[in-house]
Structures are given as C-alpha cells and as structure tokens.
C-alpha cells in the first residue's frame, strides 16, 4: 500500500537571558550542579514568580520573525503534574493565551519553496535535569526555571527531509535573531517529532508516535525515515500502530519505545493567579519589531543583489551565521565581494579546520583579509603569493608587513620592467618575427620569459601591456 507521511514538530528552545523565566537566579550553561538556583527555582513554600521582561522581548522577536500574530496581553497558566524534575509540582506556561499564534516557516522542498504553518509559540519555564545512575537519581536544578519558547508546527511535513529542513530553518532563524544558542547537542534546542502514516488520498490522521531525544538535525531525518519504514511495515502486515513515545538510538540507528501513552494526561490547566495579565505597550512591541536583526532569507537576498554572489555562495555563507558575519566585515573594507566570498568560504574554512579552530576562535582579522584581496586586485601581489600571505594573516599578521618582510612586492617599476623586457626581446628575435607575422601567442611566451627573469615578481598585467608597446616600436 502507498502511504503518506504526516509530521508535526514541537520545538523547545531555551531563551538567551541572563536570569530565569520567573526568578532572578542566573542562567549559565555548564555551571556546577545546583549552583544557579534560589528558593524560587527549588519551589520552596511561599515563593512567587516574577516574569522576566527580557524573555518576553526575545519571545516577541521570535514570534515576529516567524510571522505569528502577537497577543499583547501576556497571560500565564499552570500545568499541573507531579514529577521530581518539577519542583513546584506545576509548570508555568501559556496554555490558553500563547504569545504568538499562526505564522509559518518557509523551507526548500523537492517541490520548491514550501510553507510549514505554525500553530503557536508560547513561553514557559524549563524543568530540572535528572541524572540516573546506580546510586539513584541526581537532580540538577540549574536548568529549572530557564526561559523556554515552545514552537508548535502544524502537521505539514511529509518526509524526513522536510522535517530536517524545517528544524534547520527554524534553528537558523532563531540563531540569527540571537534569541537562543540553538545547540541541539547541549539541549538548548530540543525537538519532538510526531509522525503518523495514512493511505495516500485519505485525510484522517493515523495513529502517531512521538520521537524524543533528537540531538542533531541529521538524526531528525534519520529517525523519521526509520519510523516511516517501521510504521509502513507494520501497517503492511495488517498490524496497528501503538501510540507511544519513542527515542532515537544513535548506535542502533533506530527508534525504540520509551513509554506507552495511556490516554491523554489531564494537566488541569488553570490561570496562574500570581501573575496578573500584563498588557504589552504597542510602542514596546513596535520598537522590538522594527529592530529585528537581519534574518537568513533577507541576508541571502542581500548577498545576491548587493554583492552579486550566486545562490550557492550566498547559501553557504548564510548557513553559518558567524562565517556570514565575518564575510560582512571583510566586505566593509573591500569592494571585491566575489573574491571575499571565495576566500571566506574556501581558504578561511580550510585554514580553520586545519588549525582545529571554531569560528569564535578565528584569528583572522577581516580587515587584513580585505587588504590582501585589495592588494591582489591592484596587482601588488599575485594570487600565488596571496596564499602565502594568508597563512601569515591566520597568525594575526598584517598583510602589508608580510609582503614587505618577504620582499614579495610585485615588480611594478616601469623602468626596471622595461629594462628586463628589452633584454628578453633582444634575446628572442624569432618571437618578434612571429608576432609581426600575426602570431599573438608569441606574447604569452615573452611574458613567461620576463616572469622567469624576474623570478615571478613582475606584474603580469603590466608586463603584458609593456611588451605589446615595445613590440610595436620595433
């Protein structure tokens, strides 16, 4: 039987704030366990929540970038359940009035650009982190209360590729906005994929499974593809799908069952009485919306229209925000955009890989790279020399100093060049004759001879020009 895959994705994303969603305790990834907590995060009796304005600002940014409608009346609700990672016994979330509703994300699919609709985006607080070992369960409350946004898509994706493209695109947008670290491997972005199959041509949803613990975008695709395979085999055998939560096992490259869903849990949601509704000022929202950082699509557009880059180069740069930001800095000091893109994408990336540096450890000053590019363009150094210069730039050196120290400057002194050219012409009467007989390639030979005589330091363009002039005189 032919099946259609139906995928919806919920993404939890930690907001990049200094303090927690409802307490003044610091948010610091990797701090010693239970060192970033206060009585509020531990759910001690008598504590009250206080909404983090910065978290609301970041959520408004995200909702705007994702084309959501923003509810200016911020309200919170309690989601009640008992679990050891939930200190208050309830989570403060936005069940009834999410900060953003609707909206969409555009992805590249096999049929071209496709809009994945969003259901909602809401703010909430994170739970504590649990570590299970033989001795028992250890709880680190540092994460408890960290601000989150949850972004819920509609069931609009139809393949593992689309699911991965959606997560990738969302990650990129949130990264460009600067609202989150979006590191899946560190858990600052977490992704739950709901997936079901149905017979092609039907509209009712099949029984779905939820896949958790996906720590990379590649695994999103792998897990979905495995799950499609698993579910379709079951259905082909006439068996039914069990509604359950599964996790992706990297070693087995398979999804494995975590727990059955026994009906829907009633979380007994009700409005949080300790936070009265907060009316966001229209001006405040407008101010945020008018100062959104440039988003990935806009940047690709700018690279194409302003810098004349092709699809591929623009895409590669924008895919890596830090690389793109570096490229922008280079372009502030040179008009040679295409060259700047090439050097950034090819040479810089290779050099960083070789040195095992991450982008934030990049020793290359963008102005230095721009200067070097300008020197190439002006004929002061050859492209071959540039590679040597670049190696030194990666050590933090100024290209001008490098060129001087290594005596690399191309010979652009006309008198000296003319002396060499005439020497070469005198030694090659045959070539002069060939030229006079209309054989243009003789020039190439002569230029080569001059380059040889100058040990590569002669400016090729200038040499070419001068040889032509000298030949016409003879």
Partner 1 sequence: MELSSINKNNIRETVLQAIKKAKALQPALNAVVTFVDVEEQLQKLEMMDPQLPLYGVPVVLKDNVNTKGILTTASSRMLSNYIPVYDAHIVEKLKDAGAIIIAKASMDELGMGGTNLSAYTGPVNNPYDTTRISGGSSGGSAVLTAAGVTPIAIGTDTGDSIRKPAAYNGVIGMKPTYGRISRYGIIPYASSLDHVGYFSTSIEDACVALSVLAGRDDRDMTSSYEAVPNYLQSLNSDMQGKRIAIIDNVQNAITDSKIKENFNTLIEQMKQRGAIVESVHLNEDLLSVILPTYYILANAEATANHSNLDGIRFGMREDGDSVEEVMIHSRTKGFSTNIRKRFVVGSYSLFVENQDKLFRKAQKVRRLLVDEVKHVLDTYDATIVSATGSIAPHPQDSIDEQLSSEYLIAENHMILGNFSGYPSMTIPSGFVDDMPVGINLMAKPFDEQTLFNLGKAIQEETGLKGKTVEVKL
Contacting positions for partner 1 (CB under 8 A): 39, 42-51, 78, 80, 82, 84, 87-90, 137, 266, 268-270, 273-276
Least separation in angstroms between residue 230's CB and partner 1 is: 31
Q: Which of 249, 209, 251, 203 is nearest to 228 (CA)?
A: 209
Task: Classify 55 as helix, strand or coil.
Answer: helix
Nearest-angstrom CA–CA distance, 354 and 470? 47
Residue 44: is it exposed, middle or buried by C-beta count within 10 angstroms (0-12/13-18/19+)? Answer: exposed
Least separation in angstroms between residue 204's CB and partner 1 is: 24
Nearest-angstrom CA–CA distance, 174 and 177? 5
Q: Which of 147, 64, 72 is nearest to 102 (CA)?
A: 64
Q: Which residues contact 29 (CB under 8 A, 6 or more apart)?
A: 181, 186, 188
Q: Which of 396, 403, 348 is nearest to 379 (CA)?
A: 403
Closer by beta carbon to partner 1, 86 or else 241:
86
Least separation in angstroms between residue 85's CB and partner 1 is: 10
Nearest-angstrom CA–CA distance, 127 and 140? 10
CA 92 to chain centre: 30
Least separation in angstroms between residue 362's CB and partner 1 is: 42
Closer by beta carbon to partner 1, 32 or else 136:
136
Q: Which of 239, 249, 245 is nearest to 260 (CA)?
A: 245
Least separation in angstroms between residue 78's CB and partner 1 is: 5
Closer by beta carbon to partner 1, 141 or else 435:
141
Least separation in angstroms between residue 147's CB and partner 1 is: 16
306's tokens: 């302003």
Nearest-angstrom CA–CA distance, 55 and 275? 15
Closer by beta carbon to partner 1, 135 or else 251:
135
Closer by beta carbon to partner 1, 137 or else 257:
137
Closer by beta carbon to partner 1, 47 or else 241:
47
167's tokens: 């997560």
Closer by beta carbon to partner 1, 150 or else 272:
272
Least separation in angstroms between residue 3's CB and partner 1 is: 33
């Amino acid at each position: 039987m032919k099946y259609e895959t139906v995928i919806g994705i919920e993404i939890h994303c930690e907001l990049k704030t200094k303090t927690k969603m409802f307490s003044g305790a610091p948010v610091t990834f990797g701090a010693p366990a239970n060192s970033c907590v206060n009585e509020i995060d531990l759910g001690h009796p008598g504590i009250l929540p206080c909404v983090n304005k910065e978290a609301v600002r970041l959520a408004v940014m995200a909702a705007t970038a994702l084309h959501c409608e923003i509810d200016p009346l911020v309200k919170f609700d309690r989601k009640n359940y008992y679990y050891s990672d939930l200190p208050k016994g309830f989570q403060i979330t936005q069940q009834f009035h999410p900060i953003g509703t609707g909206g969409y994300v555009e992805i590249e699919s096999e049929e071209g650009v496709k809009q994945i609709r969003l259901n909602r985006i809401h703010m909430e607080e994170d739970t504590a982190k649990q570590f299970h070992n033989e001795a028992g369960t250890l709880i680190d409350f540092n994460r408890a209360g960290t601000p989150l946004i949850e972004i819920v898509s509609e069931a609009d994706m139809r393949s593992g590729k689309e699911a991965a493209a959606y997560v990738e695109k969302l990650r990129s947008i949130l990264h460009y906005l600067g609202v989150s670290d979006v590191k899946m491997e560190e858990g600052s972005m977490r992704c739950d994929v709901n997936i079901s199959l149905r017979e092609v041509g039907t509209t009712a949803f099949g029984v779905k499974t939820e896949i958790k613990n996906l720590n990379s975008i590649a695994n999103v695709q792998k897990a979905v593809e495995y799950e499609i395979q698993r579910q379709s085999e079951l259905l082909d055998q006439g068996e039914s799908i069990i509604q359950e939560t599964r996790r992706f096992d990297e070693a087995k490259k398979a999804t494995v069952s975590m727990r059955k869903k026994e009906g829907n849990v009633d979380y007994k949601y009700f409005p949080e009485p300790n936070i009265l509704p907060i009316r966001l000022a229209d001006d405040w929202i407008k101010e945020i919306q008018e100062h959104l950082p440039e988003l990935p699509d806009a940047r690709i557009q700018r690279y194409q229209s302003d810098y004349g880059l092709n699809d591929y180069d623009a895409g590669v740069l924008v895919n890596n925000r830090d690389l793109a930001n570096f490229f922008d800095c280079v372009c502030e000091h040179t008009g040679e955009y295409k060259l700047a893109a090439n050097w950034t994408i090819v040479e810089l990336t290779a050099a960083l890989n070789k040195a095992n540096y991450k982008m934030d450890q990049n020793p290359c000053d963008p102005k230095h790279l721009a200067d070097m590019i300008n020197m190439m363009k002006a004929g002061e150094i050859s492209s071959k020399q540039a590679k040597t210069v670049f190696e030194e730039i990666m050590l933090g050196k100024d290209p001008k100093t490098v060129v001087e120290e290594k005596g690399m400057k191309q010979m652009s002194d006309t008198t000296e060049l003319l002396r060499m050219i005439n020497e070469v012409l005198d030694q090659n009467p045959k070539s002069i004759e060939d030229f006079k007989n209309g054989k243009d390639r003789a020039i190439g030979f002569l230029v080569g001879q001059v380059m040889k005589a100058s040990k590569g330091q002669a400016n090729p363009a200038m040499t070419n020009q001068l040889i032509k002039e000298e030949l016409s005189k003879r």
